[in-house]
Structure 1
Amino acid sequence: MSPTDIDTQANDLLQFIDASPTPYHAVRETARRLTAQGFRELDERESWSLKPGDKVFVIRGDTSIAAFQLGTKPVDTTGFRLVGSHTDSPNLRLKPNAPVNRHGYQQLGVEIYGGVLLHTWTDRDLSLAGRVVTLHNGRPQHHLVDFRRPLLRVPNLAIHLNRGVNTEGLKLNAQEHMVPVLGLESAGPAELKGLLVEELGRSGVKAAADDLLGYDLCLYDLQPSTRSGLHGEFLHAPRLDNLASCHTGLTALLKDTGPREATVGVVLYDHEECGSRSAQGAASPFLKDLLERIVQAHSDGRADAFHRAIRRSFMVSADMAHAVHPNYSSMHEPKHQPQLGGGPVIKTNVNQSYATDGESWGYFAALCKEAGVTPQHFVTRTDLGCGSTIGPITAGQLGIRTVDVGNPMLSMHSIRELAAASDVARMVAVLSRFFA
């Protein structure tokens, strides 16, 4: 892996993350990159006309996206080669009736989305971004917004009023202690609808407060992604879990869009962090619907074509992995301690929190060997619970062979996470071999 390639891929990942403060923006940025490489969008409500070599993508719910390049051979004879990831990350999200006035402060009520490390969200310059729904000509219309300026803050309690915080730990109640401040009541009203109308106006959308029908708004840290370390070897960024895996899958798909025999694709789901149970999550029929329609348009037409295609298919479930922590090494299984900068991690759990088995492990290990990369392995300590991914969900729904992998990282589910710059290019190299 050349230093130039490492720098290029790492810096491009940071640009991808900064353009994607929410799943809505991540899908928009993904679609922008696909369109620039000749992919065209398909509408699930319409009939599709597909032919070998077509490059297409589909968006569902504004937060999940799947892209495919059809192979030169019928898909029922080659199967699909798929990379699956997720666009969402743990964060704070506004409640429907968000404005709260307490003790002279104007605040916005939030819900906790996913498994947030709450303390990392305190004393940060926070902004708002997401989707707003307005009434236009009698019909709902969706718009993306991003305030891109310091707007909110969750202030810590002074140590003078919490003397035991450094010895007993910071204990945060999500309902009481995580409500961000927006302003002072004495400074004048700051109506949320007015703020949204003003922000929509900046992007050319004319709307009145009465036109606002709903919103899906996320808080995010304004500090840009960056590199650090003596040699720039570290990446510091929000949402590495799991935009980093979305980026590597997408980059590998777009790295060489010349003719391929097999049909290849990526599927980037929303709602993994809260269980995948939604119309566009991994537990939905989103991927199955798309694969069935592709088989129908790109096979020999026999009734069992879809089932034959699935049995010839393989999925790489790409989600970030736990690197060994230098200050908490005892929390890691002694023989499975992935290193930052050590390359892709194969994740295994015999109770199927990960979908990896000996066959899929061997398949991915062979790809690593072809790419000149040595894989690492992760297994959770036997006395600890294991997190899960979209891998077992997809494998269980489709019966598709699946391996769970990811690049190693620290500070998972923090507002700012840490990974190694060199691992980005390594994973792209392996997934490029997978798509070749």
Structure 2
Amino acid sequence: MHAPKQVPTQAYRASLLHFIDDPRLNEQATQWHEDGLLIVRDGRVQAAGDYASLKRTLDDAVEVQHFPGKIIAPGFIDSHIHYPQTDIIGSPAPGLLPWLEQYTFPAERQFQDPHHASEVAAFFLDELLRCGTTTAMVYCTVHPASVDAFFEASSSRNLRMIAGKVLMDRNCPEFLRDTAEGGIRDSETLIKKWHNKGRQLYAITPRFAPTSSAAQLQLAGELARAYPDTFIQTHVAENRDECAWARSLFPQARSYLDIYDGYGLMRQRAMYGHCIWLDDEDRARMADTRSAVALCPTSNLFLGSGLFDFKSAEAAGMHLSLATDVGGGTSFSMLQTMNETYKVARMGGCHLPATRLFYLATLGSARSMQLEGCIGNFAKDTEADFILLDPQATPLMARRTSQCNSLEELLFALALLGDDRSIAATYAAGKQVHVRK
């Protein structure tokens, strides 16, 4: 008999940052090691901590890869993004609904072509990795082929991704319309094909209440109950016109969010994009059901949708995560998204420390998705998705970070001045999948 093949241990030395809790609630949440070591075996974290302590645990044959001046951090997690909108990022329109009609729907029509879907999916994933994002909750189109193309591209890169076919059976162009029964039937087929296959996870995806009939939302809720470990993703309360439209279509509902609640679509692993125009009863319901918010500041500012209310959300105990919302969002970079998140919070009278911004983009998003212990930090046996951050990526950043006197100053400079250039390398399941050129 042959002896089992030994999987080599990998070790990475640099400054090391991750979180074990929300720094807003726990002073010990931020784990920072000026001279740190991350040990990976078979795609999973074995240990993370001080180099001097952990080096003694390594076999002499293990080569330590040393990255002086860099920071090892968990890969970013983007909780709301549309891969079919990659090619319309930065398109002008006076608001959300005209933007959908003029740009989004025509672009999504092309995803009936599997070759087009595959080409965009490959570019999209490479762009995420270039920006340090290793997990995302992704909207595909109404076409099942768009989902297959996405998951095939993700599987080939061995990424932890969540995605789903859009459900949309009314108030949309005929060329993008499915049916209540057909959309759910296609979704169930895709769940069986992709959910928990390798690192792929499925999200039941009503686009938003105005484009789904009551029958489709009812069936979506039944599907969610039949597959309780799947995810749910949709939009809610993004702008005032959309809220008024949703309420007019579902007059029996107390609020826009209540539409989804009435059809059984609020539960753990449910991710709601935007949540700007909620009231206190809505926020309490979000917290009670452990449904989560995807904060999309670049999109909300670009489309003029409004400013997220951090004070009310935190008072209600809502689960928050950070998202780019490309292509309404204007950047794939979670660092640029942190920049805009900070400013939106300031406009509402809140100061978000940099540690909280990095938490929301890593463990906070993992918790919102109920994936803590799988991704989001460097706890033992988590999947080894991580990035190398470069505080000297540009002359300005190098100058500013050389004068930082605390971790908060250093992370704040990265969040406010950083972008894709700040990502020196990206690793998925312990394998390098991007290196800055």
Same fold (TM over 0.5): no
Instruction: Specify which structure has the bigger relative contact order, considering alpha-carbon pairs within 8 angstroms and separated by 6 or more residues.
Output: 1
Structure with a larger share of its residues in helix: 2
TM class by shorter chain equals under 0.3
TM-score under structure 2 length normalisation: 0.24
**TM-score using structure 1 length:** 0.24
> Larger Rg: 1 or 2?
1
